[in-house]
Structure 1
Amino acid sequence: MKKKIFVDGLSGTTGLGINERLSKYDNIELIKIDYDKRRDINERKKCLNEADLVFLCLPDEAAREAVSLVTNPSTKIIDASTAHRTISGWTYGLPELSPSHKEEIKNSKRVSNPGCHATAFVLSLYPLIKNNIMPADYPVSCQSITGYSGGGKNLIEKYEDKNKDNPYTKAPRPYSLGLNHKHLKEMMVHTGLVNSPIFLPIVANYYKGLATIIPIHTSLLNKKLKGKELYNVLAHHYKNQKFVKVMPYIDEESLGDYKYIFDGGLDITACNDTNLAEIFVIGNDEKNISMIITRLDNLGKGASGAAIQNMNLMLGYEEDLNL
């Protein structure tokens, strides 16, 4: 029997991405709502409760409202908003963190889809804090650069405005300068950090692709590991994962011959149109510093791809089906 799926909030970038990916399935039935009834609460409630699984691609308050409308105890929900990522009773949808994370997703009826920046950040640091290599009070700083699609339809329109004096296209733009980005709580809760990281996201004039950049003073770690040893921790932790890859170690000696380096730098769009997250560890042991760079498609593993991966697990499909 086909599973019934409803996407609430189909017009945004994440909703559209999920809908496109769902078109590859022949074992599901999409519940559709008339465009002029998409804000009709009774019509939405009907669709929500008919579904075996619902994707919520809505602003936070609207997502909370949608959850309150679900009275069918069998309906499973994947919420792509920020609303439930740190709420008790909801499972965090990043299965690569541990076998228990994956099992919880498989058995959950309420899964919160991670944020794009948070996905890369949490993947980078979770193994280090979990293994007591990085102290929970380590003074973490992180820059994250992303394409403008991460800002949704409104920001896309601003960047794609063809006005020659368009200020959005002149240079990369640091934002969230109040140091209170909406992903921060999620980053702390799901890594185990006790202090807020200094997090500076930057949006640039390209459509999609994201990378978090986290510098590490290895002398401040609980275990004074060299760069290659840090790499080994991450490589071991993610060794059996289909969608998280720890790339070969980089140091000053290997930099010139490293095939993933593009003209002296790293291409942060290389995971676009995939559900991959790729982690790079770069070390300079002479200076006791290392760096972790994690890249992904902010619309893929950072949004709709992750949602489909979670759906596959929740419905008992192969995790990588149609991904």
Structure 2
Amino acid sequence: MATKIFIDGEAGTTGLQIRSRLDQRKDLEFIRLGDDVRKDPAARKAALNSADIVILCLPDDAAKEAAGLIENPAVRVIDASSAHRTTPGWVYGLPEMTERQRQEISGASRVTNPGCYPTGAVSLIRPLVRGGLLPADWPVTVNAISGYSGGGKQMIAEFEDETSPNYTHVPYRIYAMGLEHKHVEEIRVHGELAHRPLFAPAVGRYAQGMIVEVPLQLWALPGDVTVAQVHEAIAEAYAGERFVSVAAPEEAAALKTLDPEGLNGTNNLKLFVFGNEDRKQVRLVALLDNLGKGASAQAVQCLNIMLGIDEGTGVELAS
């Protein structure tokens, strides 16, 4: 029997990407609401409570409201918003984060999909904290740039719609200068940091793809930490993983630049350790698609784990 799926908010950027990855699946049956009832509270509540798995692709407040409308205890939820990423009782949907993460996702009734920036940042930071190379109370900085699709419809219009009052020709801009970006606490909690990292995001004039960077002064860390130790800790954490890879030191050393669009359309996350042993400095870098491993593809990966099937089923966009 096919699993009944209801994507609440499927008309948005994330919802459309998830639907495009699931459309050809024969093991799924979709519950869809017509435009005439899509915003009708009774119709939505009925759909939410009749699905086997609900995928929420909504703004945070709407996602909280939708989760509260679910009264059927058999309904399982994947929330793609940031509403529940540090909420007790919700399992963090980054399968590669710990040895037990897949098991927890598999049995969960509530899964919260990680943010795009935290997917990269947590994947870099957590192995070093766990390995004792990076103290949990270290003042961590995270620099990042994303394609404008990560900002949703409003930001997409800002860069694509010349009729929009906010349309801009700028090639690059920083934002979140108030240091209160909603991803900061998520990075702190799941990176197992004692203090909030200083997060410096930016957006470029390209649609999707991102680079997340954590620079470290190794000379300042306790224990005489080396570049090789940092690479070994990160590589060991993801050894044998299907969607997360760590560049060999030789590969990283040979690179002169890195394209943020390099993994677009995939569920892949690639990690790099760019280091200078003489200067005792490293730049830890994560490359991913903010709409792929950073959002929709990762949600599909978690869905597959919850269904007990090959977690790679349908995560790649059809070419």
TM range (shorter): over 0.9
2:112 maps to 1:112: yes
Please tell me the residue identity of whatever aligns with 2:300: I
Q: Does the 8 A contact of 2:244 with 2:270 survive in 1?
A: yes
SS in 2 for 1:85: coil
Distance 2:54 2:48 in 1: 7
* Deviation readout 1:65-107 (Å, 9 max, x if unpaired): 1111111111110001111000101000001011211111011
Q: Which residue of 2 aligns with 1:322?
A: 314
Q: Does the 8 A contact of 1:9 with 1:58 survive in 2?
A: yes
* Deviation readout 1:125-152 (Å, 9 max, x if unpaired): 1100112210011111111000000001
Tell me by how many angstroms 1:167 deviates: 6.3
Q: Which residue of 2 aligns with 1:240?
A: 240
User: How many residues end up aligned between the 2 structures?
Assistant: 315
Distance 2:61 2:4 in 1: 25
Tell me by how many angstroms 1:250 deviates: 5.3
Q: Which residue of 2 aligns with 1:41?
A: 41
- Equivalent residues in 2 for 1:1-323, closer than 5 Å: 1-162=1-162, 168-249=168-249, 255=253, 258=254, 261=255, 264-323=256-315
SS in 1 for 2:168: helix
* Mean CA deviation greater in 166-175 or 18-27: 166-175
* Mean CA deviation greater in 63-72 or 272-281: 63-72
Q: Does the 8 A contact of 1:94 with 1:113 survive in 2?
A: yes
Q: Does the 8 A contact of 1:6 with 1:48 survive in 2?
A: yes
SS in 1 for 2:100: helix
Tell me by how many angstroms 1:220 deviates: 2.9
Distance 1:170 1:67 in 2: 38
Distance 1:298 1:132 in 2: 29
Distance 1:35 1:145 in 2: 35
Q: Does the 8 A contact of 1:250 with 1:283 survive in 2?
A: no
* Deviation readout 1:165-220 (Å, 9 max, x if unpaired): 97632231000000111000100000111111111100010000011111111123
SS in 2 for 1:37: coil
Long gaps (5+) in structure 2? none
Distance 2:120 2:69 in 1: 32
Structure 1 residues 49 and 166, CA gap change in structure 2 (3 angstroms): closer
Please tell me the residue identity of whatever aligns with 1:292: L
Long gaps (5+) in structure 1? none
Q: Does the 8 A contact of 1:250 with 1:281 survive in 2?
A: no
Tell me by how many angstroms 1:24 deviates: 2.6
Percent identity between matched residues is 42
Distance 2:126 2:222 in 1: 15
* Deviation readout 1:7-30 (Å, 9 max, x if unpaired): 000111000001111113111001
Please tell me the residue identity of whatever aligns with 2:273: V
